[in-house]
Structures are given as structure tokens and as C-alpha cells.
Amino acid sequence: MASHRRPKQPSRTRRVSVLTATAAAAVALTTQAAQAEPKASEKEVKEKVDKLYEDAEAATEKFNGAKEKQSKLNKEVGNLQDSVARGQDDLNDMRNGLGSMATAQYRTGGVDPSVQLFLSSDPDSYLDKASTLDQLSTKQAEALKKIQSKQRNLAQQRKEAADKLDDLADTRKELGEKKKKIQGKLSDARSLLNSLTADERAKLAAEQARADRAASSRADLGGDASASQRAGAAFSAAKTKIGSPYVWGATGPSSFDCSGLTSWAYNQAGVSLPRTSQAQANAGTRIGKGQLAPGDLVLFYNDLHHIGLYAGNGQILHAPKPGANVRFESINNMPFMFGVRIG
């Protein structure tokens, strides 16, 4: 006969032992994980931060492009809405004019023409009136055609304005997404920097400050002349901003991003450049590294997300990245694509 006795429960002492062993194993695993992922060195943190800053700059140029598109769309929508309003006023005037003609025709043509001729004491006068009536009808027909044409134009302009308003809404959404991406990259960079000790952060800041000072005070620019008076004026203007901080989306006069500096500098020389580095790449004649002269634009990276001004002797003047100031730097520190000469 089978036994139905309940199995013996583990004692309290045994349960405590099991829990203690499990906790010890968890501590061991945590210790191993900590040993497997050692704290990043100061050099590794700096490399990661620099990469995040580079990514943020690339996103900034896309943000700048979307912002410029938004500004253009705002202007186009405003112009279309003004045009539609003016067109509606013209249409109302045309309709009022047509109504006046119809009223005049009714008053002069209310009696059958043959009866009017029979009753007229002055047939010649009646014929003159009849001729005027025909002309009035012709004018009415022309007025109707103009009104129909105006209505079609207004409908087309209203549709165009509605489409641009949709584009504007999409662009605003895009701006928000790009801004969020930039802020995310900069936030990640700050988090990495905060993982360092206070002494390590101070050391990195001191190194950056020394790099800014050295790049600005020791740059040997040679004696090359600018290719044009405008390029020379733009370069001279940019030099007055040495030491100004890099701020994403900034166009001066106290802070800049990379394309903000170049567009500001050329604006001082009387030349209006597009807002982004990618657009500025098509603002003039492309040239090779050996053809560069002071004031020429210099494009870097495959996606052309960074731009500066050639300074001479293999140096550029640019707004480098977040955390750095406007300064001179070797053209070889970044992947050179081509130069652009502004006519």
C-alpha cells in the first residue's frame, strides 16, 4: 500500500543557508561585472565626447537647414495669403461692377426691342440705345470671363497656401526632432564628462583653453593674398571673432556654430551666403587644396557638415565644436573635401 505521508519540509536553518548562498553568488556576479567593465579612462572619455560633439554638429547643420526652410515657408505663406486677400477684394469689385451693368441693362431693356422701335418718336435715338445695349452685353461677357479666371487663380493660390502650411507643419515637427537629437548628444557628452573626477574635468578644461590660446597666438599664416577683396574682407571680419564660443545654431555676433561664422563673416563683406555648410558648398566655385587662398571656404567630412575659412599656410579659421572657441587650426586635423571660392 502506497504511503501518503507529506514530504519533510526543509528546516529554517537550511532555508537561511540557501538564501545566503544565493546572495553571495549575486555579489560575486556583480563584482565580476564591475571588473569586466572598468571605468573609462580620461582619454577614452575625451574621445567619446569629441565624437558626440561631432555628431551634434552634424545634426546642428541639419537643424539649421530645416530652420532656414521654415523661415522661407513662413515668408511664402504670408505672401500667398496677402495675394489671396487682395485677389478676393478685386473679385468683389468685379462682381459689384457686373451687378451695376446688369441693373443698367434691366432698366434700359425691360421692353421688347420691336415694341420700343414701334413706339419710339425718335428711331435714330432708339438705335443708338440698342447699340449701347449690345456693347453692354459684350462688356458683361468679358467681365464674367475675368471673374471666372480670377476665381480659378484664387482657388489655385489657396491650395498652394494650404500645401505650404502643411509643409510648414512638417518642418516644425522636423525641427523639434532635430533639436531633441542635438540636445541628446550634448546631454550624453555632459554625462560622460561628469563621470570623470573634478580634477580630471579641470585638466581637460585647461587643455582645451591652452589649445584655444595656442591656436590663436602661434598660428603662422604665411603671406598669401586673398583671391578677392570680398574674401579678404570676410577673413578680416572672422579674425575679430577669435575666442568667441561655439554655440549650436548661433550666427553671431558673440557666438557661432561653424556655418554661422562663415555666413556672418561674408555678410560683413556684403555677401549673403546660405545658412548651412552643405548649401554654402554650392555658393561659389569649387577648388582644390592647392588653390586655396585666405578667405576661401573649406568643407570637411563626406556629408559636408563642417566648414571654415582658409587662413593661409595650411591653417583654417573656424568655430570647431561645443566647448571650444573660434580659432585657427591645421587643415589636416579633419578630412578635407574641397574649397569654395566666392566670386
Task: Output 284 or 39, whichever has higher pLDDT.
Answer: 284
Pair 120, 129: CB distance under 8 Å: no
| CA 340 from centroid of its chain's CA atoms | 21
Q: How many domains does the chain have?
A: 2
Helix (H) / strand (E) element for 87: namely helix 42-108
- Residue pointed to by grid coordinates 579612462: 41
SS3 288: coil
SS3 337: strand
Encoded amino acid at 99, one letter:
G
**Residue-number span of the structural domain to which 242 is assigned:** 222-341
Residue 13 lies in a domain: no
Pair 296, 280: CB distance under 8 Å: no
For 65, phi then psi, to 5°, come to: -65, -45
Q: Are residues 269 and 319 in the same domain?
A: yes
Pair 195, 48: CB distance under 8 Å: no
Active site residues: 258, 306, 318
What's the pLDDT tens digit per position in 11-47? Answer: 544 444 444 444 444 444 444 444 445 666 778 887 8
> How big is the CA angle at 90 (ends 87 and 96), to the nearest 5 degrees?
140
Rounded CA-CA distance 245/329 in Å is 15
> How big is the CA angle at 291 (ends 285 and 296), to the nearest 5 degrees?
55
What's the pLDDT tens digit per position in 90-134? Answer: 778 777 776 665 565 555 555 445 445 444 556 566 556 555 555
Q: How confident is the model at residue 262 (pLDDT cuts 50, 70, 90)?
A: very high
Q: Are residues 172 and 227 in the same domain?
A: no
Q: Are residues 149 and 277 in the same domain?
A: no
Q: Are residues 47 and 150 in the same domain?
A: yes
For 120, phi then psi, to 5°, come to: -70, 130
CB atoms within 10 A of CB 98: 16
Pair 169, 95: CB distance under 8 Å: no
Predicted local distance difference test score (pLDDT) of residue 235: 97
Indicate which CATH number applies to the domain containing 54: 1.10.287
Q: Among 171, 198, 190, which residue's Cα sits nearest to residue 64?
A: 171
Indicate which CATH number applies to the domain containing 302: 3.90.1720.10
